[in-house]
Structure 1
Amino acid sequence: MSIQQITPKQRGYLIVNSHPAGSEATVTRQWQRIEPAATAGRSPVALVLGASAGYGQALLLAGLRRHGVRGVGVAYETPASERRTATAGWYRTAAVSALVEQDGGDVTFVNADAYADATRDEVLKLLAERYGQVDYLVYSLASPRRTDPATGEVHHSVIKPLGSAYTSPSLLFDDGAPRIGTVDLAPADEAERAATVKVMGGEDWELWVRALAGADLLGPGFTTVALSYVGSEITAPVYRQGTIGAAKEHLEATARTLQDGPLADRGRAFTVVAGAAVTQASTAIPSIALYTSLLRDVLGEEGWHTTDDQAVELWEQLTGAKPLTLDEQGRIRLDGWELDPAVQERVRGLWADPAAALAADPAGASWFYDRFRQLYGWDVPGVDYTTGVETAVSWPA
């Protein structure tokens, strides 16, 4: 037992501890927000890589609630120690597992580096012994580094523009109070661009698909998706036209490689362009916090599409309940609500003078800050942070 009363340890957009009860509550709220649907027939088998956060977690929950999926979720999280709590993803995974068990579902969670060959071998063995062939592979990994399994070289991703320097307004918080700052980024060199593609591109996704194919674990009509983002022209210099954009272009090219290669006549591969979201990955991108806050100001509660909303929509398309919404590049698009021209025009107007926009309406910034803190289990409504809580939570058996 390790009962502790804990408070957040935060510096800017970095929070180094998490709250178990708060993390559990966020998962429970997600579960309850996703409307369950009656399922009949065989339960599809899903493999979700990056199942403990963001879109990966949302897609797992939506698949469980609406389509009765079973299978494997892979994440790479850190347990509690004497000095620190476990990561929020550790606590969220334990909460998801408990809900699955209560619901009579069947998901096995593997805590390991998804980039490693040993993890692939472990997961393939588990699938073959317990679940059989895979119907859906969801690829939703986000990491600052990756060890190339072929060479052992460690590659580090960077968030930088390409070609020229980037200066932009940014959203900062001083003890929770929002203010406008400035971010200045030097352009990446070729080595940094290449390393980012190695980490965040499609190379690892392709390794997973080829490994499943080689083990005869591709089910009839197998479908795999990898999460991507395009975003606004406002953030393009640091995102779509920067190092991350180069990685996303490689990811999208990989979808075509898979479709023409190991999945030819055997399945489908898509990249999915999701809409804006407050995730642990997105908060690390300069200027994204400000853009997302202004977008929220424009759209309000009713117009915002959560990760859960988008996950439900994607499953509807993947299962054939709705037609696929594809663009000219064959990508599934879930971001029409964000990139609606009228919406973007209003966001651009606010972006032209963000200090004035913040002074006139700080609601979007406050909303963003609350959602950012809730990623780590803090500021979750209904959670009592004044009492001790068990921090040494076990990984699901």
Structure 2
Amino acid sequence: MASVHVKPMIINNVCLTTHPDGCAAMVKEQIEWTKNRKKVEGPKNALVIGCSTGYGLSSRIAASFSSGAGTIGISFEKEPTAKKPGSPGYYNNAEFDRQAKAAGIFSHTINGDAYSNEIREEVIGLIKENFGKVDLIIYSLASPVRTDPATGILHKSALKPLGESFTAKSVDFMKETVRDLTIEPAQEGDVENTVKVMGGEDWEIWINTLGEAGVLADDVKTVAYSYIGPEVTASIYRNGTIGKAKEHLEATALKLDEKLKAKGGRAFVSVNKALVTRASAYIPVVSLYISILFKVMKAKGIHEGCMEQIYRLFDERLYVEGETPVDSEGRIRIDDLEMRDDVQAEVSELWDKVSTETLAEVTDIIGYRKDFLQLHGFDVEGIDYGKDVVLED
């Protein structure tokens, strides 16, 4: 097979290349971390919808390597060619499957559109053939578009404030510059389309379809991931178009929970910590906030990455004796350390001080950039980036 040299190519905070060996190493690192923690008496058979990166990948690792669960994972990945690398998720999925097979744990990954009815039918067949029923369903999709299977209409989400334009500090984390960025308000249809893509409709279709097919265990747990965040990001996130979608997701969780409870199941939204993911890196303002948050939380010794967050979700929330701890709105909160009063007070103080000149002093921009590069397989210890790599399996 032909081999090529791969280096990071980043434009406007978007990385266009992937290093296969680096991605594999990061997956193995998360697996080894998980194997060194105490086991969680968790799921036996899990379905992870959106399994390839970030919280979805960590959920699959926790299910298999902490609880020993067989998993089916779904994600829509760009496959490599002889000269161009695939998406990070393509290599993450491949390495997860290799590691699961080596450990004797069932794993099957589907590369396809999780919004489609065809993929749902394929999953149902796999569950019946290999598990009978699933007792955990993680919903962790982060796509900017969705085709409604009932209408065939393509909906595109929008990252916009509501009512009026929003101006705030933002960062180019590769150039290490801070500037004010203005985002124009949502237009007609933006909220509805964003809710269609990022709300709870597709999650509900999944749970109802699996239930009608008879492949849900009576005590099934299903969790969708969300975020709330601080006041400084509220206009673009929680109070913007995305926030309306998250409200719909949370309302869907309550609806599904009421339905599943009849047989002993549960449905939750888990509000997770702000972390560097491929999705969050695209959101203006949020990258700068995260880089400040990292500085504060690392100094306090309470910083967590995706794997630590999801392990704690399993160990201290989902699989505890008695009732799962939730907030007044019925949500699981593993953003509790991020949202501590002392943490947010320090973040707010540093936010007022941040500029291009003070960036290195008041933020962990170096740590942010390292996390971003590692999402794509770069800046990973032990990888020889000077040698060529084979892009295709």
TM-score norm. by structure 1 comes to: 0.94
Q: Following the alignment from structure 1 to structure 2, what is the Cα–Cα distance between the partners of residues 197 and 360?
A: 37
Q: CA deviation at 1:210?
A: 0.3
Look up the equivalent residue of 2:306 and give its one-letter code. T
Q: 1:318, 1:360 → 2: CA distance?
A: 38
Q: 1:275-294 to 2 correspondence within 5 Å?
A: 275-294=273-292
Partner of 1:312: 311
Q: Which has the larger displacement, 105-114 or 320-329?
A: 320-329
Give 1:322 shift.
8.0
Give 1:15-30 correspondences, 5 Å limit.
Answer: 15-30=15-30
Partner residue in 1 for 2:251: 253
CA-to-aligned-CA distance 1:336-362 (integer Å, 9 cap, x gap): 100001110110111112117834616
Q: Comparing 290-299 with 349-358, which one deviates more in the overlay? A: 349-358
- Aligned equivalents of 2:360 and 2:205: distance in 1? 50
Q: Residue 71 of structure 1 contacts residue 127 of structure 1 at CA under 8 Å; is this kept in 2?
A: no
Q: TM-score, normalised by structure 2?
A: 0.95
Contact 1:213 1:262 in 2 (8 A): no
Checking the alignment, whether the CA contact within 8 Å between 2:292 and 2:362 is kept in structure 1 is no
Q: Please state if 1:130 is matched with 2:146.
A: no
Give, in angstroms, the shift of residue 240 of structure 1.
Answer: 0.3
> CA separation in 1, counterparts of 2:40 and 2:63?
11
Gaps of 5+ in 1: none
Shift of 1:72: 0.5
Counterpart secondary structure, 2:233: coil
- One-letter amino acid matched to 1:199: V
Is 1:61–2:61 an aligned residue pair? yes
1:290-345 per-position Cα deviation (integer Å, ceiling 9, x unaligned): 00000111111622111111111111221225862210010000011000011101
Alignment partner of 2:27: what SS?
helix
Kept in 1: contact 2:234–2:240 (CA 8 A):
yes
The percentage of counterpart residues that share the same residue type is: 37
Q: Which moved more, 1:306-315 or 1:146-155?
A: 306-315
Q: Who is 2:210 aligned against?
A: 212
Distance 2:362 2:95 in 1: 33
Using the TM superposition, give the Cα deviation of residue 145 of structure 1 relative to its aligned residue in structure 2, in angstroms: 0.1
**1:237-276 counterparts in 2 under 5 A?**
237-261=235-259, 264-276=262-274
Shift in Å at residue 370 of structure 1? Answer: 0.9
Change (3 A) 1:45 1:183: same
Q: Deviations over 1:92-147 (max 9, x none)?
A: 11111111111111111111100000000000011011111110000000001000
Letter in 2 for 1:312: Y
The alignment partner of 2:51 has SS state of coil
Q: Contact 1:36/1:65 (CA < 8 Å) preserved in 2?
A: no
Counterpart position of 2:89: 89
Q: Deviations over 1:52-100 (max 9, x none)?
A: 0110101111111211111201111011124421111000111111111
1:24-43 Cα shifts (integer Å, max 9, x gaps)? 11111111222344578x96
Q: Which residue of 2 aligns with 1:379?
A: 379
Q: Within the alignment, does 1:188 sit opposite 2:186 as a pair?
A: yes
- Where 2:47 maps in the other structure, the secondary structure is strand
> What are the equivalent positions in structure 2 for 1:140-159 lying under 5 Å apart?
140-159=140-159
Task: Name the CA distance, whole Å, in 1 between partners of 2:43 and 2:80.
Answer: 34
**3-state SS of the aligned residue for 2:364?**
helix
- Please tell me whether residue 166 in structure 1 is matched to residue 170 in structure 2: no
Residue type of the alignment partner of 1:313: R
| 1:206 counterpart SS class | helix
The amino acid across from 1:25 in the alignment is: A
Distance 1:260 1:97 in 2: 35
Which residue does 1:230 correspond to in 2? Answer: 228
Q: Is the 1:161–1:242 Cα contact (8 Å) retained in structure 2?
A: yes
Q: Which moved more, 1:198-207 or 1:26-35?
A: 26-35
Contact 2:199-2:246 at 8 Å conserved across structures: yes
In structure 2, give the amino acid aligned to 1:305: E
CA change 1:5–1:205 in 2 (3 A) is: same
Aligned counterparts of 2:109 and 2:278: Cα–Cα separation in 1: 20
**One-letter code aligned to 1:202:** G
Q: Residues 223 and 269 of structure 1 are in contact (CA less than 8 Å); yes or no, is this contact kept in structure 2? A: yes
Q: Which moved more, 1:152-161 or 1:316-325?
A: 316-325
Structure 2 letter corresponding to 1:246:
K
Q: Give the match's secondary structure for 2:329.
A: coil
Q: Please list, as runs of the form range in 1=range in 2, the aligned pairs for 1:42-121 lying within 5 A after superposition.
A: 44-121=44-121
CA distance in 2, matches of 1:76, 1:371: 22
1:178 aligns with 2:191: no
Structure 1 pair 389/254, CA: closer, same or farther in 2 (3 Å)?
same
Q: Deviations over 1:267-290 (max 9, x none)?
A: 111000001111011111111110
**Residue 255 and residue 292 in structure 1: after superposition, are their counterparts in 2 closer, same or farther (change >3 A)?**
same
Aligned 8 A contact 1:178 1:366 in 2: no
- Amino acid in the other structure paired with 1:304: H
- Relative to structure 1, is the Cα distance of residues 190 and 257 closer, same or farther in structure 2, using a 3 angstrom cutoff? farther
Which deviates more from structure 2 when the two are superposed, residues 264-273 or residues 328-337?
Answer: 264-273
Q: Quick one: distance in 2 between partners of 1:73 and 1:266?
A: 24
Taking the aligned partners of 1:119 and 1:271, their CA distance within structure 2 comes to 23
* Alpha-carbon RMSD: 1.8
Matched, 1:10 2:10: yes
Tell me the distance in 1 between the aligned counterparts of 2:390 and 2:356: 44
Which residue in 1 is equivalent to 2:388? 388
Instruction: Tell me how far apart the structure 1 counterparts of residues 305 and 357 of structure 2 sit (CA, whole Å).
Output: 23
Structure 2 stretches lacking a partner, 5+ long: none
SS of corresponding position for 2:263: coil
Alignment length (residue pairs)? 390
Cα distance in structure 2, aligned partners of 1:359 and 1:22: 28
Distance 2:320 2:359 in 1: 46
